[in-house]
């Protein structure tokens, strides 16, 4: 490729460190799309003849056929996907192939290919997130009224419904999809035509290539177009946050499946056994989703570190931009698929959840709220009275709903029998009627809204 300047072939170690075809061959579809758009633009602007353009386009079609049927000769000697395609094009059509690279550089070529790939990856992530949300909605609707304990600090806090709990993840994954959509909007500008770093002296039409490749516009600065990978970093940041949400849900599935909790199980085909302990049913799919988060977050750190000290414009360091992005999106795709399968197949033990919903004096706040509403106590005093009631119930070994009225009246004389109506988990949940609350009517209303949004 640069034989006019160099008289010796690269040393073996130079070839080994420089070659990237093993990684960037995944960009073949984007590379062909960019080359087709560039070729058509060159012909439209009279920079290459129509005959040469037709020969190039036919050759690119032939290369696509070879890649799809597995006969394309990917070769390390040609370093990357761009030169592999160009070399094969020369073998297929001869001299006209050399005209394809007019008015472009591998710098703007790889920036375009990579941007197209990341854009597609964001689209796939959005669709998978919506699929997971839809699955969660189905399960939330099934359990909109089924009680379970709500936790803070992993201690019983207040009763909620399982539907409400699952809907929390619908909200989280909705924001994740929004982050990918935001990143996609920002990245949807075309680097092609920036050439090496300074633009081109040929009368190219960058708006034409932008339109053909589905970009909103050309990038406005040629240096920026070939220099930055913030679109990849932003997408990795969105992937890292989504992975964090997946990991939290995975952790809950792991905890729920312990005998100590016993809140849910997964079927045989989504669990594994032990090589030595015949009784084991391990939630390995959930544990691996949890672990994939490390790979995804690590990819963000890796690419941030590659980019942090680079001067303008292109540096070969940026060849290392693709491995972390490919790895992160591979892991995210797998984790989203596995989580969707687990949510769909999860078998909650609703009776056990309901029994646990009232544990740990989880209706204590309801007692405090009753004292405020019915006896007009300041909340801080009601909080103190309720704390004393919990302490007394604990000493007697009973729940708040079983604490004798006389005990409650010894702490606050105005308490009446009516207080017991708010001290059940069912009453506690039903009372949380504020927007976004756990009352089953509120949960079902939110489910309906999300169904409309996803449709």
Residue 87: C-alpha distances to residues 40, 83, 287 (Å) = 20, 6, 45
- Which pair of tokens denotes residue 43? 């012909």
- Which pair of tokens denotes residue 143? 């359990």
Q: How far apart are the first and last CA of the chain?
A: 51
Across 45-203, the runs of DSSP E, i.e. the strands, are 147-152, 155-161, 189-190
Torsion of CA 26, 32, 37, 43, to 10 degrees: 150
Looking only at the bridges linking them, the beta strands covering 347-348 and 264-265 are antiparallel
Question: Would you say 393 and 401 are in contact if contact means Cβ atoms under 8 Å apart?
Answer: no
Distance (Å, rounded) from C-alpha 96 to C-alpha 48? 9
Name the residues annotated as catalytic.
Answer: 153, 274
Point out which residues pair with 282 in neighbouring strands: 272
Structure-token match 């399982």, residue found: 162
Distance (Å, rounded) from C-alpha 443 to C-alpha 449? 10
Task: Report which of 300, 292, 282 is spatially closest to residue 245, judged by C-alpha positions.
Answer: 292
Ordered DSSP codes for 390-419 = HHHHHHHT--GGGS-HHHHHHH-TT--GGG
The per-residue b/e assignment along 156-173, b for 16 or more CB within 10 angstroms, e otherwise, is bebbbbbbbbbbbbbebb
- Which pair of tokens denotes residue 176? 């994740």
Task: Report which of 324, 245, 258, 257 is spatially closest to residue 289, judged by C-alpha positions.
Answer: 245
């Amino acid at each position: 490729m640069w034989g006019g300047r160099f008289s010796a072939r690269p040393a073996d170690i130079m070839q080994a460190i420089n070659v990237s075809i093993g990684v960037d061959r995944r960009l073949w579809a984007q590379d062909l799309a960019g080359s087709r758009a560039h070729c058509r633009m060159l012909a439209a602007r009279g920079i290459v003849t129509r005959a040469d353009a037709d020969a190039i386009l036919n050759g690119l079609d032939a290369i696509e056929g070879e890649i799809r049927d597995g006969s394309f000769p990917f070769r390390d000697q040609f370093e990357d996907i761009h030169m592999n395609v160009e070399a094969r094009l020369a073998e297929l059509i001869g001299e006209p192939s050399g005209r394809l690279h007019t008015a472009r550089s591998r710098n703007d070529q790889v920036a375009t290919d990579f941007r197209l790939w990341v854009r597609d990856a964001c689209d796939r992530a959005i669709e998978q997130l919506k699929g997971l949300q839809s699955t969660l909605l189905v399960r939330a609707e099934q359990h909109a009224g089924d009680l379970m304990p709500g936790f803070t600090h992993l201690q019983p806090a207040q009763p909620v419904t399982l539907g409400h709990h699952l809907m929390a993840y619908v909200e989280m994954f909705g924001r994740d999809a929004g982050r990918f959509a935001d990143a996609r909007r920002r990245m949807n500008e075309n680097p092609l035509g920036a050439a090496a770093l300074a633009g081109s002296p040929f009368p190219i039409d960058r708006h034409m290539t932008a339109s053909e490749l589905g970009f909103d516009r050309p990038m406005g600065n040629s240096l920026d177009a070939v220099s930055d990978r913030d679109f990849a970093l932003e997408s990795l940041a969105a992937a890292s946050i989504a992975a964090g949400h997946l990991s939290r849900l995975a952790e809950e599935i792991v905890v729920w499946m312990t005998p100590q909790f016993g809140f849910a199980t997964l079927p045989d085909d989504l669990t594994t056994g032990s090589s030595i302990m015949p009784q084991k049913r391990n939630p390995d799919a959930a544990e691996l989703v949890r672990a994939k988060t490390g790979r995804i977050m690590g990819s963000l750190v890796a690419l941030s570190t590659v980019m942090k000290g680079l001067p303008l414009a292109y540096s070969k360091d940026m060849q290392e931009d693709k491995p972390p992005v490919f790895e992160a999106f591979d892991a995210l795709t797998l984790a989203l698929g596995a989580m969707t399968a687990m949510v769909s197949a999860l078998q909650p033990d609703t009776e056990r959840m309901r029994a646990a919903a009232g544990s740990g004096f989880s209706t204590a706040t309801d007692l405090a709220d009753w004292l405020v509403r019915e006896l007009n106590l300041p909340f801080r005093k009601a909080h103190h009275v309720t704390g004393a009631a919990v302490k007394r119930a604990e000493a007697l070994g009973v729940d708040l709903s079983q604490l004798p009225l006389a005990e409650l009246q010894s702490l606050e004389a105005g308490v009446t029998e009516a207080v017991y109506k708010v001290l059940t988990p069912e009453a506690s949940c039903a009372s949380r009627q504020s927007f976004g609350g756990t009352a089953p009517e509120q949960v079902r209303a939110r489910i309906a809204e999300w169904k409309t949004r996803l449709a």
